[in-house]
Amino acid sequence: MAFVAKTNPSSILDVGGGHGQLAVPLCEDGHKVTVLGSAESCRKRIKTVIESGQCEFKIGNMTELPFPDRSFDTVISFRLLAHCSRWPQLVKELCRVAKNDVVIDYPTSQSLNRIAPLLFKAKKKFEGDTRTWALFRHRDVIDAFRCHGFELRRKKGQFFLPMVLHRALKCRTLSVALEGICHVLGLTALWGSPAIVWLTRKGCDN
């Protein structure tokens, strides 16, 4: 959320943000947020901020966004790119409707996620409804945005250790401690995943 706040937006579009991971705290911080979901059911977790008037909810196609060009100062999309088979088209649409900035996350193969296929069965055991997902190289994602006039501004890794390990540990204190050690050693900066990237339209002075 720190990257989003630094863009200093007056309007934010959260594509696929029905999970509420960012929409809710951004609304609570006073930002004007619109969430685009694929179905009516996507409003369930953000019902409170919708009913309070802090958030607007729209239904639409993620790869054909129902908004004019440059409609929002900042466009964000978390936990979506990895599950989108048409991800280059998604990137194109995020760039089209963003006036200034785009902030997204994605799991990267340039991390311990290289062993993700070996851990998928374990992940499914702990999560139950785990979907398959794609891994990305940083350069592939950044180049896709560059094709539409956006340049990388900041990149940050979230976790060094695979999430399935943290879920298996079932101990937040231990997980925080382990990730803290990885952060201090510089491992997260080098090989953290998912990666959060902040991209800015060329010529934008944010």
* Identity of residue 50: I
CA 186, distance to chain mean position in Å, is: 22
Sign of the Cα pseudo-torsion (179, 189, 140, 2, in order): positive
CA–CA distances in Å: residue 107 to residues 7, 79, 142 = 23, 9, 13
The tokens for 170 are: 């079932």
Rounded mean pLDDT for each run of 10 residues along the chain, 206 residues in total: 84 96 94 95 95 96 97 96 93 98 91 58 53 81 97 90 77 87 84 90 75
* Identity of residue 2: A
Q: Which secondary-structure segment (H or E) carries 198? A: strand 193-201
The CA distance from 54 to 29, in Å, is: 10
- DSSP symbols for 105-159: EE-BSSSGGGGHHHHHHHHHHHHSSPPP---B-HHHHHHHHHTTTEEEEEEEEEE
Per-residue confidence (pLDDT) for residue 110, from 0 to 100: 73
Buried b (16+ CB within 10 A) or exposed e, 4-25: beebebeebbbbbbbbbbbbbe
Residues 101, 200 contacting (CB under 8 angstroms) = yes
Per-residue confidence (pLDDT) for residue 119, from 0 to 100: 54
Per-residue confidence (pLDDT) for residue 104, from 0 to 100: 97
Per-residue confidence (pLDDT) for residue 157, from 0 to 100: 86
Q: Which domains does the chain have, with CATH numbers?
A: 2-109+134-160+194-201 (3.40.50.150)
Q: For residue 64, give the DSSP letter.
A: B
The CA distance from 65 to 68, in Å, is: 8
Per-residue confidence (pLDDT) for residue 131, from 0 to 100: 56
pTM, entire model: 0.84
The tokens for 76 are: 């964000």
